[in-house]
Amino acid sequence: MNGVFGDPALYVDFRFEKRALLFDLGDVGALAPRQLLRLTDVFVTHAHMDHFAGFDRLLRVCLGRGPVLRLYGPPGFIAQVEHKLSAYTWNLVDRYPGDFTLLAHEVAPDWQLQAARFRSGARFRREPQEGRRCAGGVLLEEDAFRVRATFLDHGTPCLAFAFEEKTHVNVWKNRLADMGLRVGPWLAEVRRAVMEESPDDTPILARWRDGEGAHERQVALGELKSRALELVKGERLCYVTDIVYHEENAARVARFAADADLLYIETVFLTQEATHAARKMHLTAAQAGTLSRAARAKTVVPFHFSPRYMGREDELRAELERARAGIPADIDRDQPSPAAGAGACLVKTEEKPVNKPVTDTLPQLGAPDPERKNSPIIDESEYDEHDASPDLEIEEGVCYFNDEVFEIGQTVRSGAELLQCSERGVWVRKGEKRPD
């Protein structure tokens, strides 16, 4: 919904029903109230802000309107929903029309699913519900589809989801007529028999009514299948985001997303910034491509790009596609080679020779104007890049100085001060430089 740079939120609409599912609950400002009201089930990978901050808007739209909304998330999720709800005053909400109900579910690694109900009629007090086991990671099972989950590691348990359409059974009415049969509720039994893969000699009792009264005829399932039915294989959509690259995660993704028709996969950083990606517990584009290749996904949709690549989306896509085609990542090919260790994020200083001293060619920006957009300026002693909490994930990817945008790693002068744009999107004072 929010493009490759926005908060993750994948809206899955049902074409002939007033119904939709949502995978991740980042900013949902782009969805109209009528679209939010169609949601019946919302699946949240983990509760980092960019995946869960849309909760308030969804709740607000549904209040007094929506009937039941089911939410699913990782361990601790019910308490997180409860805390969100308890941040508001609800003294009047029990007078609202309807009884808007949130059913929150959290899944444990042993696939025990806990549930709690929060009703507006009960002022959103937590009401424990009976739990159940979700065998095979199936969180939701319906006639036409199921939603399955798996656990991945993002420094915190993070769920990945698969939306699995079941086999469609299309019935050709005219071909039934050629067989001397008419449509009727008996076709539900046919559909069930097909889904259960019953043998072709399974007898089916076809019954229908018309102007001449009731009719009844027995026909073999195999005959129906060959003459009047069309079986269309359902599609499988997988949604994988916010994971660190390591062997176990890689093996799990390859298994879980195996042969996916459509794989949505996070593609956060370029390989150049692999060290940074690992620290932030995210994938690089090459890693996303490698996982897509291992899963043999038919169509791959990259998303969740770091904002630092604004205007450079093609580089992320190209890196993913190269890895997906099995071409090893060649970071030296058209990029300056990364400096070692944590400094790897600072290679964007472009053609400057590595050891060239800082000179007066640095842009002189004057003093920051409080009326314009400026990133915070901090002393070098206060700056600890490891302190950048991966929980926050609100990285700007750039620094601002009087509305002007600067890339990470860039050094500028503000009067006598040297400022360097750090990877957290803050200016770090690198000392003073008097004009020579």
How many of the other CB atoms lie within 10 Å of CB of 273?
Answer: 25
Q: Give the per-residue contact string, 141-170, with Zn ion (x = CB under 5 A; - = no).
A: ------------------------------
The residue of the chain with the least Cβ separation from Zn ion equals: 48
Q: Nearer to Zn ion by C-beta: 242 or 423?
A: 242
Interacting span for Zn ion (CB under 5 A) from 41-49, 119-127, 165-173, 414-422: 41-49
Interacting span for Zn ion (CB under 5 A) from 44-52, 79-87, 160-168, 173-181: 44-52
- The C-alpha atoms of residue 9 and residue 14 are separated, in whole angstroms, by 16
Q: Nearer to Zn ion by C-beta: 144 or 394?
A: 394
Cβ 46 to Zn ion shortest distance, Å: 6
Token pair recorded at residue 170: 């299309």
Interacting span for Zn ion (CB under 5 A) from 40-48, 72-80, 93-101, 125-133: 40-48
Q: What is the DSSP letter of 394?
A: -
Q: Tell me the number of residues near Zn ion by CB under 5 A.
A: 3
Cβ 154 to Zn ion shortest distance, Å: 5
Cβ 6 to Zn ion shortest distance, Å: 11
Cβ 280 to Zn ion shortest distance, Å: 8
Cβ 220 to Zn ion shortest distance, Å: 53
Strand partners, 132: 113
Residue 240's Cβ-count burial label (10 Å; 0-12, 13-18, 19+) is buried
- The C-alpha atoms of residue 60 and residue 84 are separated, in whole angstroms, by 12
- The C-alpha atoms of residue 75 and residue 113 are separated, in whole angstroms, by 9
Cβ 50 to Zn ion shortest distance, Å: 5
Cβ 242 to Zn ion shortest distance, Å: 4
Cα–Cα distances (Å) from 222 to 167, 200, 229, in that order, read 17, 4, 10
Q: Nearer to Zn ion by C-beta: 50 or 164?
A: 50
- The C-alpha atoms of residue 163 and residue 262 are separated, in whole angstroms, by 10
Interacting span for Zn ion (CB under 5 A) from 50-58, 195-203, 230-238, 289-297: 50-58
Q: What is the DSSP letter of 329?
A: P
24 binds Zn ion (CB under 5 A): no
Cβ 159 to Zn ion shortest distance, Å: 12
CB 427 within 8 A of CB 384: no
Q: Nearer to Zn ion by C-beta: 391 or 432?
A: 391
242 binds Zn ion (CB under 5 A): yes
Token pair recorded at residue 51: 């995946």
Q: Give the distance from CA 168 to its chain's centroid.
A: 26
User: Which residues fall within 8 angstroms of residue 354, CB to CB, at 6 or more apart?
Assistant: 339
Interacting span for Zn ion (CB under 5 A) from 215-223, 238-246, 373-381, 407-415: 238-246
Cβ 8 to Zn ion shortest distance, Å: 6
Q: Nearer to Zn ion by C-beta: 50 or 273?
A: 50
User: Which residues fall within 8 angstroms of residue 320, CB to CB, at 6 or more apart?
Assistant: 267, 285, 286, 288, 289, 292, 300, 302
Cβ 160 to Zn ion shortest distance, Å: 12
Interacting span for Zn ion (CB under 5 A) from 42-50, 144-152, 184-192, 289-297: 42-50
Cβ 158 to Zn ion shortest distance, Å: 7
Token pair recorded at residue 75: 């361990």
Q: Nearer to Zn ion by C-beta: 53 or 134?
A: 53
CB 12 within 8 A of CB 20: yes
Q: Nearer to Zn ion by C-beta: 283 or 300?
A: 283
- What is the enclosing helix (H) or strand (E) of 73? strand 68-73
User: Which residues fall within 8 angstroms of residue 19, CB to CB, at 6 or more apart?
Assistant: 13, 38, 40
Q: For residue 137, give the 3-state DSSP assignment.
A: helix
Interacting span for Zn ion (CB under 5 A) from 47-55, 93-101, 289-297, 412-420: 47-55
Q: Nearer to Zn ion by C-beta: 41 or 50?
A: 50
Interacting span for Zn ion (CB under 5 A) from 43-51, 200-208, 217-225, 426-434: 43-51
48 binds Zn ion (CB under 5 A): yes
Tell me the CB-side half-sphere exposure of residue 373, using CA atoms within 13 A. 9
β-pair type (213-220, 203-210): antiparallel
| Closest by CA position to 305, among listed 361, 254, 265 | 265
Which residues here bind Zn ion, judged by CB under 5 A? Answer: 48, 50, 242
